[in-house]
A and B are shown apart, each in its own frame.
Chain A
Amino acid sequence: MSAGNMHIKLKVWRQSNTNTQGRFENYSLDHVSPDMSFLEMFDVLNEQLIETGTEPVAFDHDCREGICGMCSMYINGQPHGPLRGVTTCQLHMRSFKDGDTIVVEPWRAEAFPVIKDLVVDRDAFDRVIAAGGFVSVNTGNAQDANSLPIPKVAADEAFAAAACIGCGACVAACKNASAMLFVSAKISQLALLPQGQAERSIRAEKMVAQMDAEGFGACTNTGACAAECPKEISLENIARMNREYIGAKLSSSAV
């Protein structure tokens, strides 16, 4: 077994609940193994806190293999930490140096209120999907799957957009806390596929309206979202969403 010998200093945001003020607390960890994932390092911290009678740090996490999208830490000024294309749970301590001080904050956005410590409320994303991120097909209505040929290029491109895990790193990274990468990924996926055509206009209109109502910012095209996206969703999707939305507004029958 790998004995850990790294020493890590942590500065972690602590906040009891949505309505209270938060503050940073400093912690110090010895015997951190470079093979630990970042969240495992937090497990160790929490065990240490429990031993000393301090309430452990609340943080969201579930699958710990980079796909569920639940983990959400702003580490040293970047969502999911310094590596590209990985979530916090896939970040390992070998990416840090012995003696480093690591600052960990929750996602910061008006639309993502802090629930506790590093845990934020991302229900806004669910509401955006509920506004139109689907194909209205009831169970049992489907035709044979192969009766609908879809060019491989379109299927692959739709898949690349659909790979979004809804973690919110795009919002966290954006200086405007804009959710455009998230919303555009879903709009793109369905706009690229024939199944999505029937509701293409109304989907773009409704999802964008919901996104705005949630209090996310607008897009400045800085590209921070795509750079920090653990699934490397492309900025091209935002351009496509802009086209879809403007096209829908210009042509739809809604007045």
Chain B
Amino acid sequence: MSWFSQTLTSSIGKKLLMALTGLFLISFLVIHATINAMIFYNDGGETFSHWGHFMGTNPIIRTLEIGLVAGFLIHIIDGLILWKTNRDARPINYAVNNPSANSTWYSRSMGLLGTLLLIFLVIHTSHFWIPNRSNQFATGEELDLYQMMLDIFQNPVVVLIYVLGCISLFWHLLHGFKSAFQSLGLNHVKYNGLISVVGTAFSIVIPILFALMPISIYFGWVY
């Protein structure tokens, strides 16, 4: 094995991959949330569609999108591999366990939260990203994503799924954000406080922003 694959398949290397892809996905969330938040201009989707069009057609962004898909895939696959390795490391479990005495439930449930997010991701992309890109591929035309949102979020079940997705995202980020820094070795008494505050704030703001979109549309605050 070359040193490179050796590194990435080691326990620390796998964590490194999770951290790097995680932070990359976090940066994606910022852009995604920012552009989607354009709907709150409540201008009939004008600003939103403007930026949506930019993201959907700009060649640089489209190239980066390949990286994004790769980032998702690596994060998901590596996560599954880690889940398997970690499960194998303890074939027999404790009969009585009191982990809440030493750790938070969400830090121990990153695999579960990640799986929920994966399910959400499948639903979410099949609502918007897949139809849009398929159509682009077939006809070269973009779909009217704004109108699609208005339609899809009329369904209360869908809205509920999205809100649940955002809640999963909150817990996933609440641990994942700080954890990524620790995995990268960035733990220093001077900056730990900052990382913690920013991480917590990020984990709250981004999912709330996302959740507000289906909610606002459903309740007709955005139309």
- Given a CB threshold of 8 Å, the question of whether A touches B is answered with yes
Which A residues are closer than 8 A to B by beta carbons? 13, 24, 74, 76-78, 82, 103, 105, 108-111, 173, 175-178, 180, 208-209, 211-212, 215-224, 227-228, 235-236, 238-246, 249, 252, 254-255
Which B residues are closer than 8 A to A by beta carbons? 2-3, 6-7, 10-16, 82, 85-86, 88-99, 101-104, 107-108, 110, 175, 178-179, 182-187, 189
* A175-B2 contact in complex given A238-B182, A249-B7, C-beta closer than 8 Å: no
A228 touches B96 (CB 8 A): no
Q: Which residues of B contact A238 (CB under 8 A)?
A: 182, 187
CB of B220, distance to nearest CB on chain A (Å): 42
A178-B89, A218-B82, A249-B6 known, 12 other contacts, Cβ within 8 Å: A24-B95, A74-B94, A77-B96, A77-B97, A105-B95, A108-B90, A111-B89, A177-B86, A221-B178, A222-B107, A242-B185, A244-B185
Q: List 21 A-B contacts (CB under 8 A).
A: A13-B95, A74-B94, A77-B97, A78-B101, A111-B89, A175-B103, A175-B108, A208-B11, A215-B89, A218-B85, A221-B175, A222-B103, A222-B107, A222-B108, A224-B102, A235-B187, A236-B189, A241-B185, A242-B184, A246-B16, A246-B185
CB of B91, distance to nearest CB on chain A (Å): 6
Give the complex CA separation of A74 and B57 in angstroms.
58
Most B CB contacts (10 A, CB to CB) among A221, A244, A254 go to A221
Q: State the 6 A-B residue pairs at the shortest beta-carbon distance, nearest first.
A: A77-B98, A243-B185, A239-B187, A217-B89, A176-B86, A227-B102
Give the complex CA separation of A239 and B6 in angstroms.
20
CB of A233, distance to nearest CB on chain B (Å): 13
B89 touches A103 (CB 8 A): no
B102 touches A242 (CB 8 A): no
CB of B197, distance to nearest CB on chain A (Å): 17
Give the complex CA separation of A218 and B16 in angstroms.
11
Partner pick for A218 among B15, B91, B184, CB 8 A cutoff: B15
B95 touches A219 (CB 8 A): no
Q: Which residues of A contact B95 (CB under 8 A)?
A: 13, 24, 103, 105
CB of B111, distance to nearest CB on chain A (Å): 9
B107 touches A219 (CB 8 A): no
* A77-B94 contact in complex given A208-B11, A239-B186, A242-B185, C-beta closer than 8 Å: yes
Q: Which residues of A contact B97 (CB under 8 A)?
A: 77
A177 touches B89 (CB 8 A): yes
Partner pick for B107 among A221, A236, A252, CB 8 A cutoff: A221
Q: Which residues of B contact A208 (CB under 8 A)?
A: 10-12
Partner pick for B182 among A235, A249, A254, CB 8 A cutoff: A235
B88 touches A76 (CB 8 A): no
CB of B68, distance to nearest CB on chain A (Å): 24
CB of A172, distance to nearest CB on chain B (Å): 9
Partner pick for B102 among A173, A212, A254, CB 8 A cutoff: A173
A77 touches B179 (CB 8 A): no
A221 touches B182 (CB 8 A): yes
Give the complex CA separation of A173 and B94 in angstroms.
10
Q: Which residues of B contact A76 (CB under 8 A)?
A: 96, 98
Give the complex CA separation of A235 and B13 in angstroms.
18
Give the complex CA separation of A212 and B179 in angstroms.
20
B104 touches A222 (CB 8 A): yes
Give the complex CA separation of A243 and B85 in angstroms.
22
A176 touches B90 (CB 8 A): yes
Q: Which residues of A contact B89 (CB under 8 A)?
A: 109-111, 176-178, 215-217
Q: Which residues of A contact B10 (CB under 8 A)?
A: 208-209, 212, 245
Chain A, Cβ-Cβ closest to B98: A77
B15 touches A242 (CB 8 A): yes
Q: Which residues of B contact A242 (CB under 8 A)?
A: 12, 15-16, 182-185
B86 touches A228 (CB 8 A): no
Most B CB contacts (10 A, CB to CB) among A74, A209, A227, A245 go to A245
Q: Which residues of A contact B110 (CB under 8 A)?
A: 220
